[in-house]
Each structure stands twice: as C-alpha cells, then as structure tokens.
A and B are shown apart, each in its own frame.
Chain A
Amino acid sequence: MKLYVAVCRMLLGASLLVSANVHGGEGGEGFDWLKVVIFAEHQTDYSGVFVYQYDNHVETSRITHVVDGDGENERLESLDGPKREIVRHHGRVLGHHGEELPQVESPQGIGKFPSLLPEQLAALSANYQAKLLGTERIAGYDAQAILFQPRDGLRYTHKIWVHTDSGLLLKAAVLGSKNQLVEQYAFTQLQIGGKIDRSWVRQGVVAGFHGRDFHKQHDTARRGSPTNSGWVADALPAGFAKTMEIQRPMHGNHAPVIQMVYSDGLSAISIFIESDDGDEDDVEGLSSRGAMNLYHKVVGKHLFTVVGEVPPHTVMRVLDSIRHNGQ
C-alpha cells in the first residue's frame, strides 16, 4: 500500500511539475494531496465507522467501500437513530429510508473516474490558499493536515486530514469565517484493505431493496439527460465552473427539473429550476444542515432552488442572480 501511494504521488508530482506555473507553486503540495485523496478514494477497499457532526447534532455511521471487476460498491449505514442506508454502485445511488423505496437515481454514467482537471487546479489555487499543517493521529493512523483558506468571503474554509500511507481522507472539517466549526466528519475506526465483507454487494442489497436489481435496471426515462436550457446565474463566485447541466426526474412523477452544477474544486453549487406547482411549502426559504445551505424562491412561474456547501449568503446571492439568457 505504501509503495503504491508513493508511486501514485510521484506520478502526480511529476504531472504537477508541468502545471506548476499554473498555480505558481504556492500551496502546490496541498493541492497535490487533494489529487491523492481523490485517487485513493476510488481505488481503495476500506470499512470504518465515522462521526458526522454539525451544530448540536452528532451521528455515527459505518461506511464500506469495495472495488471489484464491476467497479466501485459502497454502503453507508446509519448506526444512530432510525435505520437508514445508502448504496452506491458505479456511481448510481439507491437510498433506503426504513421501508421506503429509493427516490433518486444518479444519471452519472458508468466508469466515471473523477479527478482534478488542470483548469480546476488553477481555479482552486486562484480561490483558495493551501497550507500544509503538521501531522496528527486520527483513528490510530498518521495523517497530514492541510488547510484550504478561501480568498473571498463567499466560501468556507476546508481543513482535511489525509492518511499519509493510503491517501484516504480520515477527517474533514468545514470552518466559517470566524473559524467556527460548521461541520465535521471523522473516522473513529477504520480498516484499510485486507478482508472486508462484500456479501452485501449482491445478496444484501438486492434483498434490501425489495427485489429491485439495480445491476440490470437501465430505465433511461428515470435518469437525467444533458440539456442546455439557457438559464444563467451571474453572481456565481469566481472559479465556479459549470460541470454539468441536465434534465432529471425528481419528486416522483413531476415534470423534469433542470439541474445545473458548478464547482470550484472543493465545493459545488447546484441550481434547480422547475415550474412552480403552487405548493404552499415552496414560498421563499433558507435552510441548512452542516455546511450545506439551501435557498428556494418562487420567481414568476418558476421555483428556483440553490444548494451548495457554501455560506448562506452565497446561495442567496446566486439565486437572486438567476435569469434566462436573452430575456
């Protein structure tokens, strides 16, 4: 494992040398670690228990991630409160709330292998300052701590702790403008590699989802399709580049919803546009959970919803700048 990561870091380091002029070397090593994290996350088998915390809320969950010939399989189970479970296979998502059937499926294609593109790296260093902090022990492993401090007040500070051997993310904290903790995620126990139970990948999942076999289901009508709707938001913070725009089904059988996703490499903002169905719940409102803020508002005949891991004023600002191009 060590050797594998060392080689991986060397390769990434070499590619970074080429693009060193893009981000001027400043905090380059911090962004280098980010690439390692993304790489390791998709390639490593692991199973562990983590704590997720925001406001006065503390919750424990177990996550298991195994890679097989078919791709990545992942299971997230809640250990506190009512039983909830989310299973991802090839980037497709099935949610499981108690006895409820899954509601949302990922339109993402099979074989997705995300990584930071050079232009995203350039945007990252333009908008965040990366600082390598010391090493700390997290869940019994040595971790490198890295701080990503935004250069404007429109995004949060991110602090991550990366396992120095495997490159896995062991802990992540989102901090507000006064360094107050907005949310935190940290492993308390983690097994990396070795013998990890994968019986759930076929049996458990299929049984758990009332016989729905997600390996075979390819109902394209229920998945999203790329679109270009002509909607724009002028007040997106600098460095947020559009990563996709799709039309997707949501809320059961309602008319399709347009989703536009923008990312600055560390956080993303989604804009949802749908026709207003006169639901009384849809009047203007701001809500939040941890680093996630959601703002929705009926404008004319449309319901706009903006969601992202950015401060409340940013989602509000983005929503208020939405307009249809050429109108």
Chain B
Amino acid sequence: MKQEISVLMDGELFEDEVESLLDRLKQDPAARKNWAAYHLIGDVLRQPDHIHCDLSAKVRERMQDEPTVFAPHGRMAKQKMRAFALSAAASLSAIGVVAWMSLQIGPEAAPQLAMQQNAMRPVKAQFQAKSNDYLMAHQEFSPSTDMSGGAYYIRTVSYETEEIQMRNSTGKK
C-alpha cells in the first residue's frame, strides 16, 4: 500500500490503478495517514517555515462549516477533481519520494537507487566524438588521474554505440 501511494505521488500509476487506490484511500484511515505524511514530507522540504501539524483535522473542521450542495455530481466535476489530484501528486513527486527514499536508504544502497532514478530520468545528451578531445585534454590535469592512475581515462574512451558509428563514418583524423 505504502509503495503504491508513493508511486501515485510520482504520477506513475495507471489510470485504473489510481481509481482503485483512491477508493481504498477513502476507506482506510491508516492509508490516508500515510498519504498525508508523504505530502507533509514534501511540504516540509519545500517550505520548512510554514508547517502546520495535523492539517487534516483542521481541514475537516472547515469542511463541516461548508454548506452542503444538494445537486447531482456531474461526471465532469469528478474528472476535474481527479486531474487536480493527479497534478498535485505529480508536482510533489520527485522531491517527496526522493526525500522519503533517502531517509530509508543510506549511500550504501546508492547504486540501486541510481538505477531506479535512471529509469525515470529523461535520457541525457551523450557526448559527441569531438567532445572526447576535450575530455582527454581535461583528464590529463584532473586530480582523479593522480589518485587512480590512468583508470579514469576510461571516461574518455568509454564506448557508446552511436559514438563508435560516428567515429567510423567521419573517418580518421
């Protein structure tokens, strides 16, 4: 359940899964608490100066003062609500989940964490063949070369399939 909530906040749940999870959230007070806690983490991270504890109780109080509307709920309204909830979850996503995960996982588990993040992260621009000249020229004077010998030169010759193709097509310099 916790996992699903964090995935929901990440905006990565499919629409039908979202619906069933939201239904369960409505019924399960413990899950609602988790939901609130995760959002609180996000809020604290973004605005540590404006934190009010137990927001849900206050909101409930205010809700009771609200007039009840005796009109049938249009399907559109429901849709809008869901869209809003989703976008709110998405905006909190990265910060909230990463913060939560880094609380749970120390630097030791970093490789796994990095892998997970890569799956979500957009593809980074790869080096062009020409950039290797700069990399090589830089590596000569980098402290990392003094610490690891030539091992870090691997950065300059690390292969990427497209790059090799480019190299072959441009020919020899």
Please give the residue numbers on chain A whose beta carbons come within 8 Å of chain B beta carbons, in ascending order.
34, 37-38, 41-42, 50, 52-53, 55-57, 59, 61, 63, 65, 74-76, 78, 80-82, 84, 86, 88, 91, 93, 95, 97, 99-101, 103-104, 106-108, 114, 147, 159-160, 169, 172-173, 175, 178-182, 184-185, 243-244, 248, 250-252, 259, 261, 263, 265-268, 270, 272, 281, 285-290, 292, 294, 296, 305, 307-309
Contacts and interface: CB of A to CB of B under 8 A. Distances in A.
A287 B124 contact: yes
Interface in B100-142: 102, 106-107, 110-111, 113-115, 117-118, 124-128, 130-131, 133-138, 140-142
A181 B142 contact: no
Contacts of B19: none
A292 B155 contact: yes
21 contacts: A37-B147, A52-B158, A56-B118, A59-B154, A61-B154, A86-B157, A95-B136, A101-B173, A103-B136, A104-B136, A173-B110, A175-B110, A181-B113, A251-B133, A252-B173, A268-B143, A270-B138, A287-B124, A289-B158, A290-B158, A296-B131
Q: Per DSSP, are chain A's interface residues mostly helix, strand or loop, or mixed?
A: strand
B172 interface: yes
A93 B155 contact: no
Contacts of B172: 99-101
B94 to A, nearest CB: 10
Q: Per DSSP, are chain B's interface residues mostly helix, strand or loop, or mixed?
A: helix
Contacts of A289: 126-127, 135, 155, 158
A97 B167 contact: yes
B96 to A, nearest CB: 12
Interface residues of B, number: 48
Contacts, number: 182
A95 B153 CA distance: 10
A308 B107 CA distance: 23
A267 B142 contact: yes
B124 A250 contact: no
B98 interface: yes
B107 A287 contact: no
A106 B137 CA distance: 8
Given A181-B110, A252-B173, A288-B124, 5 more contacts: A52-B155, A80-B159, A88-B150, A244-B141, A292-B155
The 7 closest A-B pairs by CB, nearest first: A181-B114, A270-B138, A181-B110, A268-B142, A261-B141, A307-B138, A84-B157
B146 interface: yes
Interface string B143-164: 1101111111111111110001
A114 B125 CA distance: 34
B143 A169 contact: no
B148 A169 contact: yes
A270 B151 contact: no
